[in-house]
Structure 1
Amino acid sequence: MAEKEITSGAEAAADARIRAVGVLLDTSALLERLLAGTIQRAAGISHSMFEVLLLLAERPDGAPIRELCDRVILTSGGATRLIDRMVTAGLAERHPSPADRRVQLVTMTAEGERALVTAARAHAAETDRVLSPALPPDDLAALLAALDRLGRQARAQLPPLG
């Protein structure tokens, strides 16, 4: 069933769809600030670096920069600059793909894994501290499932970032 058309500012402010996305984005921004600071203090890396290291942990043989762009939602230039900083910091390395020498694969170094583990421990502790009082385990599982579905739907609608 289609929702009623919005015809006034008051209706826009009261619209459950608009409010739900607003709460989601606001909460996401607050958690991002909180967790990014925690990760930076604990491991000396940015939240974006943490996200890339998590992806590289799933791909020990390496991930193409294009895949990292898509998964972390960065432009190719943004991903290249981030990977450059990670390589300079000793967290990651670039290697030509054995299947296609034109493709560069990014792998995590031992230093990158140490930073990831340190950051992940701090992230988990801070997440427990923030989420546990607000979300019992059943609510957290339901939230995770709902956000996963929403994220997959949004990702399918997102045009590629060049």
Structure 2
Amino acid sequence: MRSTATKLRDLLENLLQTDLPVRLRAWDGSEAGPPHAPTLIVHNRRAVRRLMWQPTELGLARAYVSGDLGLEGDLYDALRRLASLLWGNSGKPGALPMRAVAADLLSLGIAGARPKPPPEEIALLGRRHSRHRDRQAISHHYDVGNDFYRIVLGAGMVYSCAYWTGDEESGGYGLGDA
């Protein structure tokens, strides 16, 4: 009997008509895919449901942000490997035709209602770039309290910027004057 991860891998490879460039770990602990590749951890069926309902990089991002999908290994390597699946050769976002494999999704117990966006995602209403809407967006992203900024900035809470000049004497990475 095929494991859940093998079923997921086969489903995706059949759908995409190419080998999956990452390893998968399913919610039951089973694994499938290249042994030394970054591992996408599918924590629950909702992760795949998010991709089924929003089969673009938005579905992938929502699954990751909500904790339904995780990653073991190098994030940049995983994104590089997945880029061609998400963006294709056109350089524009592509849509994976997940609805075309509904029978396989049903057999894995994945089919269901569209998951709500993660709470971290704000739904803005009103005219784009109006003062009210921009104020909402700014507040959502920055009014998060000092506990968050201590995690991001460290105990000193120093928020600064720097730029690299390409200074040859320091190996090509000199801190420029700001």
TM-score, normalised with respect to structure 1: 0.31
Larger radius of gyration: 2
Structure with the largest fraction of helix: 1
TM-score, normalised with respect to structure 2: 0.29
